[in-house]
């Protein structure tokens, strides 16, 4: 029997599961955007088509990194691994880059008729998830 008998609160497991679900939704959105078909693009307005077509490759890569590392980090929380902190840090940095570029360097909020609260919420969630992983590590929840 291990001498490390730290009691893990139920909120820890809730945060881990929510992180997994959130990042699975992000991966689904990423896959949807990467695999847009011509028929899907044809249903969009001219401004939306231009936004999608002009999205640089590096932004798609950043989006993929944000979601994949977010999922890996969230799984790391569930299995109580220290590397979850690093994975969630990479995800958070990618989210900040992605949301910053989309919100300030493009007119995506206007074109997609989206509130600025949505990208802010995505950034906030990634920051909180990373912070929670660091806090969990400092409390001895991660091995």
Residues 53-103: tens digit of each pLDDT: 778 999 999 999 999 999 999 999 999 999 999 999 999 999 999 999 888
Q: Where are the domains of the chain?
A: 10-138
Residues 5-16: tens digit of each pLDDT: 678 999 999 999
Give this prediction's pTM.
0.86
CA dist 11 and 141 (Å) reads: 12
The DSSP 8-state label assigned to residue 44 in this structure reads S
The DSSP 8-state label assigned to residue 79 in this structure reads T
For residues 39, 42, 43, 48, the Cα torsion angle rounded to the nearest 10 degrees is: 130
The answer, yes or no, to whether residue 45 has pLDDT greater than 90, is no
Secondary structure percentages of the chain, helix, strand, coil, to 5: 75, 0, 25
Angstrom CA distances, 62 to 68, 91, 102, 103, stand at 10, 9, 11, 15
């Amino acid at each position: 029997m291990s001498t490390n008998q730290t009691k893990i609160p139920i909120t820890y497991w809730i945060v881990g599961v929510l992180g997994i679900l959130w990042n699975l939704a992000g991966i689904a959105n990423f896959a949807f955007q990467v695999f847009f078909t011509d028929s899907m693009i044809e249903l969009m307005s001219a401004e939306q088509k231009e936004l999608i077509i002009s999205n640089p490759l590096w932004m798609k890569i950043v989006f993929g990194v944000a979601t994949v590392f977010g999922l890996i980090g969230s799984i790391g929380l569930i299995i109580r691994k220290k590397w979850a902190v690093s994975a969630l840090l990479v995800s958070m940095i990618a989210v900040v880059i992605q949301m910053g570029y989309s919100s300030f360097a493009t007119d995506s909020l206007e074109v997609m008729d989206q509130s600025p609260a949505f990208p802010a919420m995505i950034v906030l969630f990634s920051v909180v998830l990373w912070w929670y992983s660091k806090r969990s590590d400092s409390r001895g929840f991660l091995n």
